[in-house]
Structure 1
Amino acid sequence: MWVQRVIELTGWEPLGISVDWAAIEGELGVPLPADYKELYEVFGGGVFSDSVYFLGRDEGRAFDFLTQWRVSLPVDQDSKRGEVSAVEPYAIYAPGGKGLVEWGSTEWADEYFWLIDAERPGEYPVLARAHGVGGWHRFAMSTSEFLYRILADTDFQPFGIAQYDLDTTFKPGSGDDE
């Protein structure tokens, strides 16, 4: 339902991307949200409304959530940095554990994550933080509902962008490494 709403909002023609989700979920040690997988198969990674970055599964590309996670995990677990995490009071998800996996962000440095707990597969609350607004916000909604509300709901604060009258468009990632 929410994926369809995002499609209608953007006027996007679904791409029908094929992905080996079993391999990805095998590396993570947990299944990913079904609606996220559907969003990716429809859109791929890229940018909504010229400001909301959606991380997909594009090996070696800037919009690849798995590459971002692989880079974040060892940095988050680096003992030379002490007990400090970039996502405090949480940690980056490690297979078999509990932590965050980023799936989106904005040009204003807002960040969107799933809180994944290997002992509770199938539960994927969205955790988000807005740059300069302070603290984490937890949402008991799907990835696609959260994305839709960001793009279309003027009252979805501090994350909604609808009040800025940006075109609700989608541009696929360029495929260039950043």
Structure 2
Amino acid sequence: MWVQRVIELTGWEPLGISADWAAIDGELGVPLPADYKELYEAFGGGVFSDSVYFLGRDEGLAFDFLTQWRVSLSVDQDSKLGDVSAVEPYAIYAPGGKGLVPWGSTEWADEYFWLIDAERPGDYPVLARSDDGGAWDRYDMSTSEFLYRVLADADFQPFGIAQYDLGTTFKPGSGDPFDGQPL
């Protein structure tokens, strides 16, 4: 239902991307949310409303979900950086554990993650924080509902962007990792 709302809101023609979900879920050690898989297959990776970055599949690196997660995990586990994590008080999810997995962000440095616990597969609250790197907001809703509310609900604060009248468009990732987009 929410995936269809995002498709209708953007006027997007679903791409019908196929993915080896068994391999992706296997690498993570947990199955990803079903509605995220639908978004991934419909949109791939790219930008909503010229400001909300969605990680899915991208021929380059900028919007590729697995690449972004692997980079985040590598940085989070780098002992040269000490015990500090960019997502404190959490850590980036490592297979079999509990932590955050990035799936989106904004041009204003807002960040969107799932809190994944390998012992509780199927429970994927969205954790988001605004550009100040402060407190995390938890949303017990699906990825697609959260994304829809960010794009369409001006009262969905502090993350709703509808109040800025940016339109509700989607542009697929360029495949160029050096185009100034997330990485």
Shorter-normalised TM-score: what interval?
Answer: over 0.9
Q: CA separation in 2, counterparts of 1:93 and 1:140?
A: 18
Q: State the TM-score, normalized to the length of structure 2.
A: 0.94
Partner-residue secondary structure (3-state), 1:100: strand
Paired residues in the alignment total 178
Partner-residue secondary structure (3-state), 2:53: strand
- Find the counterpart in structure 1 of residue 61 from structure 2: 61
- Find the counterpart in structure 1 of residue 39 from structure 2: 39
Q: CA separation in 1, counterparts of 2:80 and 2:15?
A: 43
Residue identity opposite 2:50 in structure 1: D
- The ranges of structure 1 where at least 4 consecutive aligned residues each deviate by more than 4 angstroms after the TM superposition are none
C-alpha change, 1:24 and 1:106, in structure 2 (3 Å) is: same
Asked if the contact 1:97/1:118 (under 8 Å) is kept, the reply is yes
Q: Percent identity?
A: 88
Residues 1-178 of structure 1 correspond to what in structure 2 (within 5 A)? Answer: 1-58=1-58, 60-132=60-132, 134-178=134-178
How far is 1:133 from its partner? 7.2
Residue identity opposite 2:91 in structure 1: A
Asked if the contact 2:100/2:115 (under 8 Å) is kept, the reply is yes
Q: State the TM-score, normalized to the length of structure 1.
A: 0.97
Q: CA separation in 2, counterparts of 1:59 and 1:124?
A: 26
Q: CA separation in 1, counterparts of 2:164 and 2:125?
A: 26
> Mean Cα displacement is larger for which, 157-166 or 70-79?
70-79
Considering only aligned residues, what root-mean-square deviation do their CA atoms show, in Å? 1.1
- Point out where structure 2 has 5 or more consecutive residues left out of the alignment: 179-183
> 1:132-155: CA deviations, max 9, x gaps?
273100000000000000000011
> 1:45-95: CA deviations, max 9, x gaps?
000000000000235421011101111112111222221000000000000
C-alpha change, 1:11 and 1:70, in structure 2 (3 Å) is: same
How far is 1:172 from its partner? 0.4
How far is 1:100 from its partner? 0.5
Residue identity opposite 1:25 in structure 2: D
Q: CA separation in 1, counterparts of 2:57 and 2:121?
A: 20
